[in-house]
Structure 1
Amino acid sequence: MVRRSMNRNQLHDQNLKFVLQQIFNNHPTSRIEISHQLNLNKSTVSSLYNTLMADGYLTELGLGEASNAGGRKPTLIEINRNYGFTLTFDLGYRHLHALVTYLNGQVWKYDRIETKGQSIHEMIDQINHYIAAVQAEDTTSHGLLGICFSIHGIVMDNQIKTSPFIDMAGIDLEQVFSTMYQVPVVLENEANLSAVYERDFNGARDLNSTVTVSIHRGIGAGIILQRELFRGEHGDAGEIGQTVVSIEMDDAGAGHPVHAEDISSEDAIIQQLEQKKGITNLDRTQLVALYQKQDADTLAVLTKFTTAIGGLIYNLMRSLDPDAFFINSPLVEEIPTLLMQIRTVYQNLAHNALTIDLTQNARLATVLGGCSLITHRALGLDHYELNFERPATETTA
């Protein structure tokens, strides 16, 4: 294959992106350090730096320490967080999770808004009111730079293919919000965003391939292969909740598939326990309380759950062979012994000790993954690796 050389403008644009990436990932840094890291001469770096500074992307922090060889002290620089902000919304079944972050990835605020029983039209109204309130407080120079939506369903080409928990009523979120606010709008599956969070925020940046198993009302997997998010050809990659785990025969001899999320999603666990105890309206808090009392029915249901998840992870390992697995589950986060049981099930099947860890700060994982995607887009750095610092677990609520 013939490799085409870049013209001067293309080379300039590429080097500009490399310099911006270096500043984002190594803050604070200096022009001399960027020159060393990118193997570009100082005059080229200074020219690119001046362009970024004139555009408002950078801020100077003062002088750093001179090198061992002496010479002038370098001027330290970093991304200008006051350039603007991005928003990520997780469209959950019961709550709308909203995260506001500055351009450098630092969290400004996080809020959880009750939406249970609301239509998508009512949720959009809530989102617009929230954006208006944030804009009223905003003191950045460029304001809103982009919006990301975390979707509990299948997304392909920035469009929602399926949304099992929220009736989207044919609404095109990208069109609605890009038209209203004139900014980029990105839609992505929530399990995929959890996987992006692990890669970019949570220490998995040294791993080439990971799978994040997201266990909520349903079950999904976010797949990172060779550092890139893998969606499949039609956006269906990672829909492991629909994996058929058995076939049940009815009295007429007809077979009915049993899917993974029919027995091992959080909703399925609660339904099984409700049936065993003849109760209704059980929630996660009550389930955890029953476990802490060592209730026999609860222990039996959760043993079935850990066996199923351990087996599911084993099957994923055989299919994808990643470096590590992560589990994004508020239930497992509240009952850490479940993680140990899942590891034991997996190890008994696989006879290896592949890493299976819990996603830390699961409450923010999807919206922080969204922060990464929309920050990449706002900076024009799609497919460039950006390293974000994990925020403190306590945020505005």
Structure 2
Amino acid sequence: MVRRSMNRNELHDQNLSLVLQQIFNNHPTSRIAISHQLNLNKSTISSLYNTLMAAGYLTELGLGEASTAGGRKPTLVEINRDYGFTLTFDLGYRHLHALATFLDGHVWKYDRIETKGQSIHEMLAQIKTYIAQRQQEDQTSHGLLGICFSIHGIVFNNQVQTSPFIDMDGIDLEQTFSAAYHVPVVLENEANLAAVYERDFNGARDLNSTVTVSIHRGIGAGIILRRDLFRGEHGDAGEIGQTVVSIAMDGAGNAHPVHAEDISSEDAIIQQIEDKKGLTNLDRAGLVQLYQDRDVDTVVVLRQFTTAIGGLIYNLMRSLDPDAFFLNSPLVEEIPDLLTQIREVYHSLAQNDLSIDVTQNARLATLLGGCSLITHRVLHLDHYELNFERPTADETD
């Protein structure tokens, strides 16, 4: 590959992005610290710093401590939280999850809105109402900066390709919301966003490659390879719920594939237990209670689930060879025994100690992944690593 040298404007833009990245990742920091980190002279840093300050991206905090060598105390700076806010919406089957975050990634507001049985048009009306409410409450200088949508389906080129749980009815989310609000609009698969959350928020910052397996109504995998999100050539990478795990034959000799999510998604588990026990309207809370009561049918079904997921992780390890796995599953989060069983199954197959951990704060994982994606876009830092702080309990209540 022939490397093209950058002209002066391109070099300036790259250095401006690097300074902004340093301030985002090392708050608070100072011009002298940035100069040392980027190995750029102080006058260059000051010029770039002044550009970012004039644009409103930064806020100064006062003087820090002088170095051990003496000299003037540095002025500390961080990203200006009051510059504006972003919104991420998770279009779930039963609920619309909404997260408002400030430019520095700190959570402003989280809400869960009942949408079961609603059409996409009714959901969009709720989203627009929610945006209007946040704009009315907003006290930032630039207001709404960008919107991200978490999609339970395949996304390619910022368009929904398949949406098995919600009929999109031909709606183009990017066009609809960018035209209405004149801000960047990003669409991404929910499992991919959970993987971005692990990379940027949740402790996977030192891992090159990870796989986050999301187990909800379906099953998907978010794949991070060499620190980048891997979507495949057509957005289909990670659709592991469609993995064929067996072939069922009917009386006429016709073959019918059985997919992983047909037997191992949370909805499939609930359906199996309802069938065994003659129940209706069983939800996750009821399932957890049955397990805690040591109901025999529930214990058997969940043991089959952990065996299947352990095997699925083993197959993914053989295909992708990541540094670690994460499970984005509220069910596993609520029943820690399941994680232990999944690890046991995997280790019996693989004979290695590859890390398998449950995603902490699974309720917000995809939303916070969306926060990262849209913040990158708003700051024009799509290909730069940004490290976000994990929200506190007070922020996510």
Identify the residue that residue 231 of structure 2 maps to in structure 1. Answer: 231
Instruction: Tell me if the contact between 1:111 and 1:396 (Cα under 8 Å) persists in the aligned partners.
Output: no
Match of 1:379 in 2: 379
Secondary structure at the aligned position of 1:123 is classed as helix
Q: Report the CA distance between 1:255 and its aligned residue.
A: 1.2
Aligned mates of 2:300, 2:393 — CA distance in 1:
32
Q: Using the alignment, how far apart are the partners of 1:180 and 1:127 within structure 2?
A: 12
C-alpha separation in 1, matches of 2:110 and 2:341: 33
- 2:107–2:396: 8 Å Cα contact kept in structure 1? no
| TM-score scaled by length of structure 1 | 0.99
The gaps in structure 2 that reach 5 residues or longer are none
Q: Partner residue of 1:31? A: 31
Q: How far apart are residue 248 of structure 1 and its match? A: 1.0
- What residue number does 1:17 align with? 17
* Per-residue Cα deviation, 1:234-261 (whole angstroms, up to 9, x for no partner): 1000000000001111111111111000
Give CA deviations for 1:119-159 in whole Å, capped at 9, x if unaligned. 11010000000000000010110000000000000000000
Task: Show the counterpart of 2:158.
Answer: 158
Could you tell me the percent identity over the aligned residues? 83
Q: Secondary structure at the match of 1:245?
A: strand
Map of 1:359 onto structure 2: 359
> What is the CA RMSD across the aligned residues, in angstroms?
0.7
Q: Secondary structure at the match of 2:349?
A: helix
Q: Distance in 1 between matches of 2:2 and 2:225?
A: 27
Number of the residue aligned with 1:369: 369
Report deviation, 1:188: 0.2
Measure, in 2, the Cα distance between the counterparts of 1:387 and 1:196.
11
Structure 2 residue aligned with 1:263: 263
Counterpart of 2:93 in structure 1 is 93
1:303 is paired with a residue of what secondary structure? helix
Displacement of 1:396 in angstroms is 5.8
Q: TM-score, normalised by structure 2?
A: 0.99
Q: Which residue does the alignment assign to 1:167? A: 167
Residue type of the partner of 1:365? Answer: A
Task: Tell me which amino acid in the other structure corresponds to 2:122.
Answer: E
Alpha-carbon distance, 1:169 to partner? 0.5
For 1:65, what is the secondary structure of its paired residue?
Answer: coil
Using the TM superposition, give the Cα deviation of residue 279 of structure 1 relative to its aligned residue in structure 2, in angstroms.
1.7
1:205 counterpart SS class: coil
How far residue 395 of structure 1 moved from its aligned partner, in angstroms, is: 3.7
Q: Deviations over 1:319-350 (max 9, x none)?
A: 00000000000100110000000000000000
Partner of 2:69: 69
Separation of aligned partners in 2, 1:93 and 1:54: 44
Structure 2 residue 220 is the aligned partner of structure 1 residue 187: no
Paired residue for 2:49?
A: 49
Determine the C-alpha separation between the residues in 2 that align with 1:2 and 1:303: 55
Q: Which residue of 1 aligns with 2:133?
A: 133
**1:309 & 1:35 partners in 2: Cα distance?**
48
**1:315 — aligned with what?**
315
User: How far did 1:2 drift?
Assistant: 2.9
- Is this contact kept in 2: 1:91–1:150, CA < 8 A? yes
Alignment match, 2:305: 305
Residues 394 and 275 of structure 1: CA distance in aligned 2, closer, same or farther (over 3 Å): farther
Q: How does 1:101-112 map to 2 (within 5 A)?
A: 101-112=101-112
Farther off after superposition, 272-281 or 180-189: 272-281
Alignment length (residue pairs): 397
Displacement of 1:367 after TM fit?
A: 0.2
**Which segment drifts farther, 1-10 or 304-313?**
1-10
SS in 2 for 1:204: coil
Unaligned runs of 5+ in 1: none
Work out the CA distance in 2 between the residues paired with 1:394 and 1:126: 25
